[in-house]
Amino acid sequence: MQFDTKFAIVVADDLPVWQKLNVVSFLSGGVTQSPSVTTGAVYRDASGCEYLPLCVQPIIVLKANRSKFTTFVQRANREAMPTAIFIEDMFATGDDEANRQSLQHYQTSELPLVGLALHGDRKLVDKIIKGAKLHD
């Protein structure tokens, strides 16, 4: 199936694997809260047990050098693209409120970004994350 939109997550290429997985998990949860992301119906197994719906669109996971993240977030903001972000400080916080407070210490150009996720028009998403590479 071809989609007119793209759901992309970019993580810093120098993070340990456990941190990359953590960042991808948090960011995907953030973007799926967007009204632009479509989720399917509840899943049901043969025993009748129900499971939560999933995003109907594939998610591409990319990597980039940390130095590129400021450019990505500036492009996203310039295009008014709703974006989920994860900064390095969030690894040391214990809750969502502390995460929000840690973000308030930085100007946009100074954010210690280690991940971002967005969903929108495929060509616009590609333009915003130009320079990121497919994660291996």
Domains, the chain, ordered by start: 5-134 (3.40.1490.10)
Confidence of residue 3 (pLDDT cuts 50, 70, 90): confident
Instruction: Report the distance separating Cα 58 and Cα 77, nearest Å.
Output: 24
Residue 1 confidence (pLDDT) above 80: no
Residue 43 CB partners (closer than 8 Å, separation 6+): 50, 51, 52, 53, 54
Instruction: Report the distance separating Cα 7 and Cα 37, nearest Å.
Output: 8
**Which pLDDT does position 38 carry in this prediction?**
81
Could you tell me which of 80, 71, 67 has the C-alpha nearest to residue 118?
80
- The C-alpha angle 59, 28, 84, rounded to 5 degrees, equals 115
Tens digit of pLDDT for each residue in 56-109? 888 999 999 999 999 999 999 999 999 999 999 999 998 999 999 999 999 999
Residue 94: exposure state from Cβ atoms within 10 A (0-12, 13-18, ≥19) = exposed
Tens digit of pLDDT for each residue in 9-63? 999 999 999 999 999 999 998 888 777 788 889 999 999 999 998 888 889 999 9
Q: What is the mean pLDDT of residues 109-136?
A: 96
| Predicted TM-score (pTM) of this structure | 0.91
Q: Where are the alpha helices (DSSP H) in the chain?
A: 17-31, 69-78, 96-103, 122-128
Q: What is the token pair recorded at 102?
A: 């840690």
